[in-house]
A and B are shown apart, each in its own frame.
Chain A
Amino acid sequence: MQRRFIPRQGLEPLIRQTLDAGYRLHAPQSTDGAILYRPIHHSGQLPWGLHDHQAPGHYRLLDNGSPRAFAWATGPQALKPLLFRPSEPIWTLDLDSDGRPSFIGAAHTEAPLALLGLRPCDLAALALQDAHFLHGPYPDPAYAARRRGLLTIAVNCSHPAATCFCAATGDGPNAQGGYDLLLDELDDGYLIESGSAVGKTLLDRLDTLPATDMQLEAMATQRASAVRAQQRKLPNAEQLARLPAQHDHPHWAEVAERCLACGNCTAVCPTCFCHAHRETPALDGQSSVHSREWDSCFTSGHSYLHGHVVHTTTRERYRQWLTHKLAGWVEQYGRSGCVGCGRCITWCPVGIDLTVESAALVDANPAQGE
């Protein structure tokens, strides 16, 4: 691993080289009051100088005049909607004149995707989505097609939000792997290193300087302070393993008093994978599109079972979500489904905080603050 330095204006050639290599490049941009990943053409579109203020049920972008493009933590979405689409066709049905059906599977022929600015928590969530969509008995062809050529240009998180707890889950704020290129943002530029052969090829095309001792020292200080800046944490793995046994704990009903069952948490969660199959027949009845779209375990339809609903109450739905996220995933995929990004806390309209609720359920003391 050779760490190099590029000045602030060096992001422009990085973007140019990525586009020239044939990628569809998405990068964070200030969109409708939040930072979202959008197609990018030049570095001026990055969220220069913006900072995000996050708290339970609260998200605001502020211009703090910083010389940086990545002085923020997370937006409501990152990689998930790009690989696992909120809605997409699976097959199309056509009926011939005798009413005989034929089925055409959806094709996946998009150009390879590159993302600039992914956070370590996003990389951790990517590994979890990979485990679900690629490594089961039926690898998902739509996800696989988009994942295959994916280029990840990650940026370590120097400005965690108050809702972040990736240090506690072990997923950040500094990436341990899973990237093609990794940047550390300093005031005057970027330390950059490659994590794959593809990343190295791209890095070799850039004009870079050797990293100085002073820059490396600034990076180490920044990395350590990003860890220290985090105040929230989850109960540990041993404590969370007790969650399924808390099935009848009175605290579930207490959370349900506040929970609106709106499903925001599942929509912004970078690992939630549930989706529903939907049928959209043409008006003439001769064809129909069978698609899938994101679903939420907070809906009644999620657990519908020939005439009744398994999870009838908000209490049962919140319990299903939290127990699955923090315990069920361990049996299914070998680790918790939470990467500590804090999105479910920020985007909950009533500010329900899973670090607090899970601690109350397993009788742990959360470290918490604002």
Chain B
Amino acid sequence: MHAIDNAPDTAGLVPLAAEIIQFIQETPSIFTLRLRFTDPAAHAAYRFAPGQFNMLYLPGVGEVPISIVSDPQDEHLYDHTIRAVGRVTHALANLREGSRIGVRGPFGRGWPLTEAQGRDVVIVTGGLGCAPVVSVINYILKRRAQFGHLTIMQGVRHADDLIWRERYEAWAELPDTQVLLAASDGSPIWPWHVGHVPDLFDQARLTPGVSLVMMCGPEGMMRAASGDLIARGIPERDLWMSMERNMHCGMGLCGHCQMGPKFVCQDGPVFNYPEIKALLARKGV
């Protein structure tokens, strides 16, 4: 056995220890871990792009792939927002500030932020899967002059599922920014649309050739939204989406994340629509 510090051939394969500097309870089942690698050199060297993910390891329990929501240039901490749904995420929910976990990553291909420069950006998310695009929203807002009009569209099943409500409200006040929210199941204090996200495309600023769309959420929602956007003249090459599969290794080796011939962990998780449209059209791929 050898110490991993001097073993570059295990890069990505063996976790690095990280400490939870802040634990934020977003909703009863959703929480954010703000992390720092315990090795200052590793922390300083760590780089990621919005849309990439880490494998978070809870000692003795196991690993789970989680997207990174913080800004890539925030050298202080990096954040993971997690919903407790399975064995590992339920256990992660019990951690507190000062707890240490293992982190491998970052893995995969993130959002097309270079292609998006100078373009109008439309963010379309559904369900609770908005975490992968929050990093993009923050990225754009911090570099506002580099991008055109920003439209943020979020659909949730029930009004209570919306997290970061204050952030949406704050974003809606920003110049050149549009926030459109929908809940399939509204509530008495839900001021936005009751229905599905694609219902809101009529209100969104969509300009074929100018708008670049980034999507995240259930495959059915992205399939429907893509069809609708293409019908509205948005070129297929301007549609991008983050896919989810069962990553064990994150390195394109274990085979669990395959979607047709794509290794979602390495070829994605962010894909350009033409790359996966044939796969998206087939159920159970």
A interface list, Cβ under 8 A from B: 90-93, 95, 99-107, 132-133, 136-141, 144, 244, 247-248, 273-277, 279, 281, 285, 288, 290, 292, 295, 297, 302-307, 310-313, 316, 319-320, 323-324, 327-332
Contact = CB atoms under 8 A, between A and B. Distances in A.
Interface in B245-272: 245-246, 248-249, 251-256, 258, 260-261, 263, 266
A277 B63 contact: yes
Interface in B12-34: 12-17
Given A101-B17, A310-B284, A320-B258, 6 more contacts: A103-B16, A106-B1, A276-B256, A303-B245, A305-B244, A316-B284
Contacts of B16: 103
Contacts of B7: 105
Given A132-B253, A136-B266, A137-B252, A324 B258 contact: yes
B278 A273 contact: no
Contacts of B255: 273-275, 295, 297
Contacts of B261: 324, 327-332
The DSSP consensus for interface residues of chain B is: loop
Interface in B187-226: none
A274 B256 contact: yes
A244 B260 CA distance: 8
A311 B284 contact: yes
Nearest to A282: B60
Contacts of B99: 99
A141 B13 CA distance: 9
B167 interface: no
Contacts of A313: 284
Interface residues of B, number: 48
A138 B1 contact: no
The DSSP consensus for interface residues of chain A is: mixed
A93 B60 contact: yes
B14 A302 contact: no
B9 interface: yes
B186 interface: no
A307 B14 contact: no
B227 interface: no
A139 B8 CA distance: 11
B269 to A, nearest CB: 12
A312 B15 CA distance: 32
A90 B86 CA distance: 23
Given A102-B17, A324-B258, A324-B261, A305 B245 contact: yes
21 contacts: A105-B1, A105-B2, A105-B10, A105-B13, A107-B1, A107-B2, A136-B253, A138-B11, A138-B253, A274-B256, A277-B248, A281-B60, A288-B59, A290-B57, A292-B248, A303-B256, A305-B246, A310-B285, A312-B284, A324-B261, A328-B258
B3 interface: yes
Nearest to A145: B9
A124 B18 CA distance: 43
A293 B10 CA distance: 18
A210 to B, nearest CB: 45
A302 B12 contact: no
B17 A307 contact: no
B254 A91 contact: no
Interface in B90-117: 99-102
A100 B17 contact: yes
Central interface residue in B2, B10, B38, B89, by most chain A CB within 10 Å: B10
B62 interface: yes
Given A104-B4, A285-B60, A303-B246, A90 B14 contact: yes
Given A104-B4, A279-B62, A138 B252 contact: yes
B44 interface: no
A136 B252 CA distance: 7
Given A244-B260, A277-B248, A306 B86 contact: yes
Nearest to B4: A105
B282 interface: yes
B85 to A, nearest CB: 5
A306 B246 CA distance: 8
B20 to A, nearest CB: 12
B61 interface: yes
Contacts of B9: 139, 141, 144
B61 A279 contact: yes
Nearest to A133: B253
Contacts of A305: 244-246
Contacts of B254: 274-277, 292, 295
A307 B13 contact: no
A101 B102 contact: yes
A273 B85 contact: no
B2 to A, nearest CB: 5
Given A95-B59, A101-B59, A277-B62, A137 B251 contact: yes
- A-B pairs, top 7 by smallest CB distance, nearest first, are A274-B255, A138-B251, A281-B60, A331-B261, A328-B261, A105-B10, A105-B14
Contacts of A139: 9
A279 B251 contact: no
A333 to B, nearest CB: 9
Nearest to A332: B261
B255 to A, nearest CB: 4
Contacts of B102: 93, 101, 103
Contacts of B248: 275-277, 292
Contacts of B89: 306
Given A100-B100, A244-B278, A137 B60 contact: no
A369 B74 CA distance: 66
A304 B62 contact: no
